[in-house]
Chain A
Amino acid sequence: MAAQELTGAEIVIKALVDQGVDTIFGYPGGAVLPIYDALFQQNKIRHILVRHEQGAVHAAEGYARSTGKPGVVLVTSGPGATNAVTGLTDALMDSIPLVCLTGQVATHLIGNDAFQECDTVGITRPCTKHNWLVNSAKELTRVMHEAFYVATNGRPGPVVIDIPKDVQFQKAEYVGPQNVVHKTYRPKVKGDIEAIKAAVDLIATAKKPIFYTGGGIINSGPFASQLLREFVQLTGFPITSTLMGLGAYPASDKQWLGMLGMHGTYEANNAMHDCDVMINIGARFDDRVTGRIDAFAPNSKKIHIDIDASSINKIIHADIGIVGDAGHVLEDMIRIWKSKAVKIDKSALADWWRQIDHWRDRRSLDYKKSDEIIKPQYAIERLYQLTKDRETYITTEVGQHQMWAAQHYHFEKPNRWLTSGGLGTMGYGLPAAIGVQIAHPDALVIDIAGEASIQMCIQEISTAMQFMAPVKIFILNNEYMGMVRQWQELLHGGRYSHSYSESLPDFVKLAEAFGAVGIRAKTPGELDDKIKQMIDTPGPVVFDCVVDKFENCYPMIPSGAAHNEMILGDDPEAAMVTEEGKMLV
């Protein structure tokens, strides 16, 4: 068969199709015009036109996290690429598989400070898992297929392919993905069996065990969540999870302690502190989780399962480290557990549960109810009650609303909760919600937002309108950058430096200006009806939920404190943050 000669732009499209891509998020510009032209002449790939490249990357993240497939982004050179950097960094921190195609000036212009030129591979090197500058169309097929392989295998992450404009016009032979094998990258997915056996033996001796799980379970796929449920129920142990791991284990189950960490539950954090065996699966001992390192679960043996060898012993010493995919390792662990017919210390475990129930009785997520004013926690509770029986996906922005959502919205399934965990990117939630909605057109997709965060990528309402993505933007409007204000209250003597939002837009009118529907709720009495109205509205909705301006997010581990030094209520005097702690914010 004669070799198939295609232009670089056609190679890009064909490779995307062969990789199973049906949707890409992008924004055109001079250096990607040939690819946009090739896109115009086909109908296998749908292009979602965003309003800012950051939105394209977050939308692709939303698409990826809700489907388990890689998200694909297409942007132009220079500002197109630099605008994508925040999204790429976000995806790197949260291990989200993305393939971002950037245009570049023609090869003979590179290095000449040409119009819309920037050193894209240089700028994106530290914020991608890997990147490539393609020097000729001959390399393009290989790089395209390698990029998908690298983005999705091992610990997932974003990759960038920088394609000069002349390369998009050059002709070269196309080869299918089955003919491309990466030279060096072979991530380890199967855990070491001896280490897994040792882990099972250690777990069997536990008197005060806890499962601490993270986004690695979600990234491993729905099967890993199934296996986690099986193993947790087999052992009868308590389980907590990071922000990234919510939904891997059903929140309605009695063994579920809620989220851990800075704004985690009292029972989860105290159980972490007092445990004797910790089983960490796919979490990375992030500083929001550990609190003070030298006081972190001081009397425990730790098992750490992670697909990335560099996560093990990075922050916390692991007594048993297992490098491998969460699903594979859990599968082996359950098999070995069953074959050894492990007998756990049931009376010790019963004592442990009694202690945990005692912590639970503190009801750390409780808050002061009000009949006059909408408490933000109440708003999330009602939103949860009114949407939980539907196919619902929740995204968030970053701040107090994000933590309240994590505390008061409960997830039964993986891939339903999308939030910017590692980077903490305000502006993530709306474009991510659009990405989810594009992938799941019939689902109810809600961005739980703050009035400050939402303004960072608010232009994407226009995208939602154009592509009839009926996302619901649920703004907890307290007129403050709430988390900033909370920290200023606790650490900086209540000097609210620039955390009050002057001149907020009228969100209802703003929605209408975009052609969307705006709804405002001001009292607890009207909240349910308004939420129902939001759900029943067929198109995008901006919901301006006017909440208590001064509510703080509790419980909380102040910076520099240990897990058993939580502040429970609204008592700032209790938040004795040390000078050292202030630097950890």
Chain B
Amino acid sequence: MSNESNIERHTIAVLVDNEAGVLARVIGLFSGRGYNIESLTVAEVDQAEHTSRITIVTVGTPMVIEQIKAQLARLVPVHKVVDLTVDTKAVEREMALIKVTGSGEKRVEALRLSDAFRARVIDTTHNSFVFEVTGAPDKIDAFIGLMRPLGLVDVSRTGVVAIARGPEAM
């Protein structure tokens, strides 16, 4: 029942019990049923309760997105599934570490642009920078695009983390 013209991008937060294999269950669900993962982040968020939060960015038709949420919710160690794209207004952030090498005019240009993006220099040599940049994924895409002709050699991205706006918890 896929309708190719109807593809949507959703950010889904999943609160899980931090037990062995839980991430494998989530990833196996996506690969086993042929769903897409654009990015996935995971870390423990409550040490006392042993709960982890997984943030998944996925794409699919509305029917597939509904299936993904229902399939996630039926995994036994899952506490809660929230579609941050539909259910709430959410803020999304991603962090990237970006290595640029070069000298002369290109090096100066890279540093000037990093300032415009509020990227921080966290490592430097005579012919390289490592920038730390945070923001919405398209901002990071834009920054990487600008660095490419200036000597971009390495990128490491965290993937999206997201949280609902307003006073309500997940």
Contacts and interface: CB of A to CB of B under 8 A. Distances in A.
Interface of A: 121-122, 125-126, 129-131, 133, 150, 154-155, 183-185, 293, 308-310, 312-315, 317
A133 B21 CA distance: 9
B76 A125 contact: no
B25 A125 contact: yes
Contacts of A293: 1
**Which of B21, B24, B63, B71 has the most chain A CB atoms inside 10 A of its CB?**
B21
A312 B73 CA distance: 13
A121 B17 CA distance: 17
Contact of A184 (B1, B21, B77): B77
Contact of B76 (A126, A133, A184): A184
A336 B163 CA distance: 41
Given A121-B21, A122-B24, A310 B76 contact: no
A184 B77 CA distance: 6
A129 B76 contact: yes
Nearest to A182: B76
Contacts of B21: 121-122, 125, 131, 133
Contacts of A310: 67, 70-71, 73-74
Contact of A183 (B17, B25, B66): B17
B32 interface: yes
Interface in B70-86: 70-71, 73-74, 76-79
A313 B32 CA distance: 19
B75 to A, nearest CB: 8
A126 B32 contact: yes
Contacts of A309: 70, 73-74
A107 to B, nearest CB: 12
Closest 8 CB pairs of A and B: A310-B70, A130-B76, A309-B70, A185-B76, A310-B71, A184-B79, A126-B32, A310-B74
Contacts of A183: 17
7 contacts: A122-B24, A125-B21, A125-B25, A125-B28, A126-B28, A154-B74, A313-B67
A317 B74 CA distance: 20
Contacts of B28: 125-126
A184 B73 contact: no
A312 B66 CA distance: 10
Contacts of A122: 21, 24
Nearest to A128: B76
A314 B67 contact: yes
Nearest to B76: A130
A395 B45 CA distance: 49
A123 to B, nearest CB: 11
Contacts of B74: 154-155, 308-310
A150 B67 contact: no
Contacts of B48: none
Contacts of B67: 310, 313-314
A125 B24 contact: yes
A133 B20 contact: yes
Contacts of B70: 309-310, 312, 314
Contacts of B17: 183-184
A315 B66 CA distance: 12
Interface in B7-28: 17, 20-21, 24-25, 28
Given A126-B28, A310-B71, A314-B67, 14 more contacts: A125-B24, A126-B32, A129-B76, A130-B77, A131-B21, A133-B21, A155-B74, A184-B17, A184-B76, A184-B78, A185-B76, A310-B73, A312-B70, A315-B1
Interface in B136-159: none
A183 B17 CA distance: 8
**Which of A122, A150, A154, A185 has the most chain B CB atoms inside 10 A of its CB?**
A185
Nearest to A131: B21
Contacts of A130: 76-77
B43 to A, nearest CB: 18
**Which of A122, A184, A308 has the most chain B CB atoms inside 10 A of its CB?**
A184
A314 B35 CA distance: 13
B99 to A, nearest CB: 34
B54 to A, nearest CB: 14
B63 A313 contact: yes
Contacts of A308: 74
B107 to A, nearest CB: 47
A131 B25 CA distance: 10
Contacts of A150: 76
Interface in B30-81: 32, 63, 66-67, 70-71, 73-74, 76-79
Contacts of A125: 21, 24-25, 28
A104 to B, nearest CB: 13
A29 to B, nearest CB: 24
A470 B1 CA distance: 48
B71 to A, nearest CB: 5
B66 A313 contact: yes
Contacts of B78: 184
**Which of B17, B24, B32, B74 has the most chain A CB atoms inside 10 A of its CB?**
B74
A349 B17 CA distance: 52
A133 B19 CA distance: 10
A432 B1 CA distance: 35
Nearest to A122: B24
B45 to A, nearest CB: 15
Interface in B112-144: none
Contacts of A312: 70
Nearest to B73: A309
Nearest to A155: B74
Nearest to A314: B67
Contacts of A154: 74
